[in-house]
Structure formats: C-alpha cells, structure tokens
Chain A
C-alpha cells in the first residue's frame, strides 16, 4: 500500500512542477512583454492622449506659477531659456548658450521641479533629446539619462501627456474655464485647490496653463466655489 501511495505521489508531483513552470512563464511574460510593447505606443495614436475618467471635470486654467515638483512619465517635455551651466545627457556634458536654448525631449521619465523663474531640478531618462535642434543620440538602444547641472532660467515650458498632480493648493490669480466654457471662474489672489489633475502643463509669459481633467476644482475665499465631477 505504501508503495502505491508513493507512485501516485509522483504523478501529482509532475503536475505541480508543470503548474509552477507555467506560473513562472506567465510572470516572466508579464514582466517582459509590456516593456517591449507598451500599451500607449500601440493605442496612443487612436485614443485621446489623456482621457476623462469617471468623476472628473474638463477644465483649462491660466494661473500664476507656484513651486511645482512633477514626477512621472511624460510624452513630451520642452523648455526654452538660458543658463551658464551644463546639460548632461548620458556621459556627455553639453554647454548651454548664454542667451537662448531650446531643449526637447520625448518619453521623459523622471522628475522636474520649477517655480516662476527657474527649473531647479531636472533628472530622468528619455528616449530622444535634442538641444537647439541638434539631436543627441544614445550609443545603445537604451534610454538616456538626462539632468541639469544647475538652475535653468526658463521662459517657456511644456509638459504633455500625461501630467498627474494629486493635489495643487496655493494662492493664485487667474481664470478657470470649466467644461469648455460652461463655467468661467475669475479670481484674484484666492486660495485654489485642484485635485487629481490629469493633463498638460504649459508655462509661458509668467502664466501657468493647465489643460485637462480634475476631480475637484475649488476656489476658497469667504465662501467656496467648488466644481467636481459627477
């Protein structure tokens, strides 16, 4: 009887080994395939770059510029301005012109910090980068590390697809346009709060332009005006 039990155990053991191997293959495939075929590269041309989720409002805002730290993956990141320092791309150290520079990056994954005058930090990886129209190419097919040596005085900044800001709360002056003009809110030096923003960010001419969707937009003064997705 004991011998029979042992033989039956061997059959179960084979099934178990097969299941473990299939789980391993599944996890390996799940790790590798999305990085080779990211969903956005397949569908990005067919769907809107950022999409409205349930419970959000579409809005566009022109505001004063706070101190912002943005982290994430952005399809495009461009900025113009001047600096006396360097721009690092992998092992290359590129010197900025003293008066006008234009940096354009594709598929940026990293961090950018800026205020109303300077980009204080830029550190991440990109698939493509160009400085003043000249592309800087990677010697391998891998992503390139980029960073700023020092602060960069900018007058134009564009970050597109998709900037996500969980919460933005500060005193501002400006205009907020809700649902393509359904409501337009103008305010001066009021505390605003925007939650779960998802969209594009542009800074030009001392204005911060946010365009996208948010779950809640609040303007607080003696009373609070609040717009949120249904």
Chain B
C-alpha cells in the first residue's frame, strides 16, 4: 500500500491472494528436490513441466497484480485496469454513497479483503478486490469523501 504526500493512496492487489499458487510451486519444487536428494529418477518431461508451471505461475501472478491499480485522491476513486491496454475508471468521491468492507475468515486472518465503493445506484459499484489492510483503505476513502463534502471553511466552523 503506497501513500503519497498524505493526499493520495494507491494500492494494488495483495500478494497474499496468490499464496495458493506460491504453495503449489513450493510443493512441486520440494518434491523434485527430495526425489533428487534421495536418488530417485525424475521424469524429464515432468521436471520441465514443473519448471514451466513455476515460471508461468510467478509471471502470471505478478502481471495480474500490476494490472489492477486503485487510487484515492482528493477528487475521485480511480481504478486503472490493464497493462498494455489500459482502462481507467474515475468515480467522483461525491458520487460514492457507501463503502462496504468484505472479508472471509481466510482474508481476516491475513488482513486483506475487498472494498465495494457503492455509487448511489448499485449498478456502478467499484469493486476494489483483494487489497492489503482494507480497513485503512476504507478509512482513507471515508476521510476523503468527508473532506470533499464539507468544504474547508465550513469544517473550521464545525470544529
């Protein structure tokens, strides 16, 4: 999770989402290493497939991770999707009516989850998926929404 000058929060998908993939790679590599150590024959094709799977797994997860960027700035919630062909979706902070935080038990354990930024019409919800520290993201979003809704002058009077 990146914070820049306290005004902008930029997040990507958490690597914790890919733990099952990393675990599968670990199991394959450990199995091959054990077989090599114990002198058992390793099928060359299976070994090559294992290497391909491992490399592809790491590259694919990283590409998937960098293909989704979520940003909260002073004006809008931005979702940039894609690497070569990018789609940028800006949702004005004033258009966001609610924000929901969703975490299953596994996500709670590892402190990552999904935040749904709901526009007044639920049809245009922005789904911020599998980010680290979603409560922090949610708090920052609410803070930005409140700042934009209540201009600085009025805020001082209220304070």
Contacts and interface: CB of A to CB of B under 8 A. Distances in A.
Contacts of A35: 35, 40-43
A182 interface: no
Contact of A31 (B38, B42, B124): B42
Contacts of A27: 28, 46, 49-50, 53
A31 B28 contact: yes
B125 A30 contact: no
Contacts, number: 61
A27 B122 CA distance: 43
Interface residues of B, number: 25
Contact of B127 (A6, A30, A73): A6
A125 B35 contact: no
Nearest to B126: A2
A145 B37 CA distance: 11
Contact of A143 (B28, B32, B38): B38
A38 interface: yes
Contacts of A32: 31, 35
A142 B39 contact: yes
A185 interface: no
Interface in B13-67: 20-21, 24, 27-28, 31-32, 35, 38-43, 45-47, 49-50, 53
Interface of B: 20-21, 24, 27-28, 31-32, 35, 38-43, 45-47, 49-50, 53, 122-125, 127
